[in-house]
């Protein structure tokens, strides 16, 4: 049964019944769209995005991120899409799911969040609630976003309008852990609003909700989930760098250590994507602002950011060891997406492998059956190879463990190479004896 939503406004005695809830989702990407589709099954929802092409595609039930199927979008009968802010009129719950990237100096780039807050501020009315889902540092919602909403709306925070924070935990490409099946952390700017936010999410999240005592606790909880992963992977990457120098196979060591009950199962690898490689900088920025210099978190970042270069150097060294010339050699890199079975290109660290290879004057072809070739060109100036030719490469680097590459197997992948070509397996997808190097 759906929980009754508590009153949002001290002056109104009735709770806001579900049929009065009008939700606006601001930003329809990997996070916003599944949320809009889920809420759209039981509430009236306006899905808003500034990208008119994205909105057009969604109106035709096409999701290029592959997170929501046509059937799921059709089932969300309360959901409409728009890129016109006028269509937000009448909404009383605004959920912000815009990107939170870093700039070239690895500082938080809050511009999308600020701009979305201006949109909310212009549309929100008395009694409205602005809930943020984007990953931020502790304090960002109340220190950065709320003042913008106040300024644009002319309303007073916690008197006329309220805020909430409920971080997203979805994992693109993972069809087992879905929005509804992952417990959701919730919070609000007053105890009553926290109850409202919690009940709202509890009405769609079957895994349940976890309400925190403040927005800052919920913001902190999200950012450290990704920092914990980043630092743990960095430790394993550092071990891989040490074992490489010692001539010991890291995966074999991990398999042995993993037989102990409390050994954590992290693997070495590239750490890319919009979250794990980015979010730590949000917390380190805040820490530095208050005079604390975070050593461990930044050391982890430094190690993880160096892994692409290490992969390229291992491949080049193996070529040299075999007497294969590197200048003008041809190398095929299989996979560009930041993770397997997913088209997401954002902050993929495969580009570090490419950059390092090019510094040796190697000719590099990149093939990824999941990635949109136009996007790859737009984002990275890369011309992808549609169908790599067989027998022409001096080395092949298997960078992403897409299922298509697993299906090819070592034999199929080696067919792209000349006889004696080097095969480096970044993800340890293939049997150890079938490859010439791995992390
Ligand atoms: N992708 C993930 O796996 C994931 C998981 C958990 C949390 N998050 C966090 O969720 C947030 C959103 O990430 P995402 O992956 O969905 O991003 P995304 O890039 O896939 O989507 C963001 C959408 O917001 C739109 N947008 C940008 N500025 C806007 C504005 N001012 N008004 C309206 N729309 C705007 C963009 O056009 C885009 O469609 C980020 O803070 C991210 O860290 C992402």
Q: What is the mean pLDDT of the segment spanning 246-270?
A: 97
Is 48 found in the same domain as 186? yes
Q: Same domain for 192 and 327?
A: no
Q: Is the CB of 224 under 6 A from ligand 1?
A: no
Whether the pLDDT of residue 9 is over 80: the answer is no
Domain range for residue 339? 306-438
pLDDT digits (tens, 9 = 90+) for 339-372: 999 899 999 999 999 999 999 999 999 999 999 9
Band (pLDDT 50/70/90 cuts) for residue 6 is low
* 35 CA from centroid of ligand 1 (Å): 12
- Pick the closest to residue 296 from 228, 217, 221 (CA basis): 228
Q: Whose CA is nearest to atom 31 of ligand 1?
A: 116
- Contact predicate 277/304, CB 8 Å: yes
- With a 6 Å cutoff on the Cβ, whether 51 touches ligand 1 is yes
Measured in degrees and rounded to the nearest 5, phi and psi for residue 194 equal: -60, -40
pLDDT at 294 over 60: yes
* Same domain membership, residue 73 and residue 179: yes
Long-range contacts of 282-286 (CB under 8 A, 24+ apart): 282/100, 282/102, 282/108, 282/135, 282/136, 282/137, 282/140, 282/223, 283/137, 283/138, 283/223, 283/224, 283/227, 285/107, 285/108, 285/137, 286/137, 286/138, 286/139
- Per the domain annotation, does 243 fall within a domain? no
Question: Is residue 208 located within the same domain as residue 320?
Answer: no
pLDDT score of 274: 87
> Per mean pLDDT, which range of 74-78, 150-154, 273-277 is the poorest?
273-277
- Stretch 138-155: mean pLDDT, rounded? 98
Q: Alpha carbon of 119 to those of 130, 165, 266, 359: distances in Å?
A: 11, 17, 41, 44
- Across the range 129-149, mean pLDDT stands at 98
Same domain? For 201 and 350 the reply is no
Note the pLDDT tens digit of each residue in 361-414.
999 999 999 999 999 999 999 999 999 999 999 999 999 999 999 999 999 999
> What pLDDT score was predicted for residue 155?
98
- Residue 355 parent element (H or E): helix 350-358
Confidence class of residue 7 from pLDDT cuts 50, 70 and 90? low
Q: Determine if ligand 1 sits within 6 Å of the CB of residue 24.
A: no
The rounded Å distance from CA 28 to ligand 1 centre is 7
Do 58 and 182 belong to one domain?
yes
Of 213, 238, 262, the residue at which a domain comes to its end is: 213
CA 359, CA 238: separation in Å to the nearest integer?
A: 24
CB distance 49 to ligand 1 below 6 Å: yes
Total structural domains in the chain?
2
Rounded-to-integer distance, Cα 316 and Cα 322, Å:
10
- Shared-domain flag, residues 24 and 171: yes
Stretch among 4-18, 44-58, 177-191 having the lowest mean pLDDT = 4-18
Mean pLDDT (whole number) for 3-16: 49
Confidence of residue 172 (pLDDT cuts 50, 70, 90): confident
Residue 14 has pLDDT above 50, yes or no: no
Which of 162, 189, 213 is where one domain is finished? 213
Q: Which tokens sit at 417? A: 């190479």
Residues 192 and 335 in one domain: no
Q: Are residues 338 and 193 in the same domain?
A: no
Domain assignment present for 415:
yes
- Quick check: 402 and 369 in contact, CB under 8 A? yes
Question: What's the pLDDT score for residue 176?
Answer: 83
Q: How far is the CA of 242 from the centre of ligand 1 (A)?
A: 37
Residue 244 lies in a domain: no
What is the C-alpha to C-alpha distance for residues 73 and 320, in angstroms, rounded to an integer?
53
115 lines ligand 1 (CB under 6 A): yes
Residue 98 maps to a domain: yes
Read off the pLDDT band of 3 (50, 70, 90): very low
In sequence order, the 6+-apart residues with CB closer than 8 A to the CB of 141 are 132, 163, 165, 215, 219
Coil, helix or strand at residue 240? helix
Q: What is the DSSP string of 358-386?
A: HTTT-EEEEE-TTS-HHHHHHHH-----S
Inside any domain, residue 240: no
pLDDT at 28 over 80: yes
Q: pLDDT at residue 80 above 70?
A: yes
Q: How far is the CA of 361 from the centre of ligand 1 (A)?
A: 36
Instruction: Please indicate, yes or no, whether residues 327 and 432 belong to a single structural domain of this protein.
Output: yes
Q: Which atom number of ligand 1 is nearest to the Cα of residue 278?
A: 43
Token pair 């095969």 is found at 423
Helices 307-321 and 215-246, packing angle to 10 deg: 20
Indicate which residue of 83, 91, 145, 275 is catalytic.
275
Nearest Cα residue to atom 28 of ligand 1: 112
Which residues does residue 330 pair with via DSSP β-bridges, in sequence order?
363
Within this chain, do residues 166 and 312 fall inside the same structural domain, yes or no? no
Query: Does residue 291 register a pLDDT over 50?
Result: yes
Give pLDDT, residue 4.
44
**What proportion of the chain, given as a percentage, has pLDDT over 90?**
91
Q: What is the mean pLDDT of the chain?
A: 94
Would residue 387 count as lying in a domain?
yes
The residue nearest atom 32 of ligand 1, judged by CA position, is 116
Task: Please say which residue of 172, 190, 213 terminates a domain.
Answer: 213
Asked if the structure places residue 395 within a domain, the reply is: yes
* pLDDT tens by residue, 196-254: 999 999 999 999 999 999 999 999 999 999 999 999 999 999 999 999 999 999 999 99
Tell me the pLDDT tens digit for each residue of 41-70.
999 999 999 999 999 999 999 999 888 999
Could you tell me the CATH number of the domain that includes residue 421?
3.40.50.720
314 is catalytic: no
> For 3-23, what is the mean pLDDT?
62
**46-60, 171-185, 289-303, 337-351: least confident range:** 171-185
Q: Domain for residue 247, yes or no?
A: no
Going by CA atoms, what residue is nearest to atom 26 of ligand 1? 27
Region 26-49: mean pLDDT is 97
**Ligand 1 center to residue 85 CA distance, Å?**
18
């Amino acid at each position: 049964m759906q929980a009754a939503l508590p009153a949002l406004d001290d002056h109104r005695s009735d709770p806001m019944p579900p049929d009065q809830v009008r939700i606006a989702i601001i930003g329809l990407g990997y996070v916003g769209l599944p949320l809009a589709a889920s809420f759209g099954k039981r509430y009236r929802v306006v899905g808003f995005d500034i990208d008119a092409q994205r909105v057009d595609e969604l109106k035709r039930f096409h999701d290029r991120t592959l997170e929501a199927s046509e059937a799921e979008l059709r089932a969300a009968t309360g959901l409409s899409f728009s890129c016109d802010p006028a269509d937000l009129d009448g909404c009383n719950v605004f959920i912000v799911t815009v990107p939170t990237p870093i700039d070239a100096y690895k500082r938080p780039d809050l511009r999308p969040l600020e701009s979305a807050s201006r949109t909310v501020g212009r549309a929100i009315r008395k009694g409205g609630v602005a809930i943020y889902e984007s990953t931020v540092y502790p304090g960002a919602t109340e220190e950065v976003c709320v003042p913008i909403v106040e300024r644009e709306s002319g309303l007073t925070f916690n008197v006329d309008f309220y805020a909430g924070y409920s971080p997203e935990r979805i994992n693109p490409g993972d069809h087992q852990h879905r929005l509804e099946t992952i417990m959701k952390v919730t919070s609000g700017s007053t105890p009553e609003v926290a109850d409202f936010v919690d009940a709202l999410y509890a009405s769609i999240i079957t895994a349940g909700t976890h309400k925190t005592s403040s927005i800052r606790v919920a913001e902190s909880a999200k950012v450290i989930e990704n920092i914990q992963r980043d630092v743990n992977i960095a430790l394993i990457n550092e071990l891989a760098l040490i074992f490489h120098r010692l001539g010991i196979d890291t995966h074999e060591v991990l398999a042995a250590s993993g037989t102990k009950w409390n050994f954590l199962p992290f693997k070495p690898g590239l750490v890319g994507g919009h979250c794990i490689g980015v979010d730590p900088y949000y917390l380190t920025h805040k820490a530095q602002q208050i005079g604390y210099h975070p050593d461990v978190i930044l050391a982890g970042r430094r190690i993880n950011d160096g892994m692409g270069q290490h992969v390229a150097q291992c491949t080049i060294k193996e070529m040299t060891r075999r007497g294969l010339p590197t200048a003008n050699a041809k190398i095929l890199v299989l996979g560009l997406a930041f993770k397997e079975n997913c088209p997401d290109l954002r902050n993929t660290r495969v580009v570090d492998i490419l950059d390092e290879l090019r510094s040796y004057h190697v000719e590099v072809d990149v093939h990824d059956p999941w990635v949109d070739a136009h996007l790859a060109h737009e984002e990275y100036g890369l011309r992808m190879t549609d169908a790599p030719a067989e027998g022409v490469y001096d080395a092949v680097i298997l960078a992403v463990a897409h299922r298509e590459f697993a299906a090819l197997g070592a034999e199929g992948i080696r067919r792209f190479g000349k006889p004696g070509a080097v095969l480096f397996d970044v993800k340890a997808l293939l049997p150890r004896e079938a490859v010439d190097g791995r992390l």
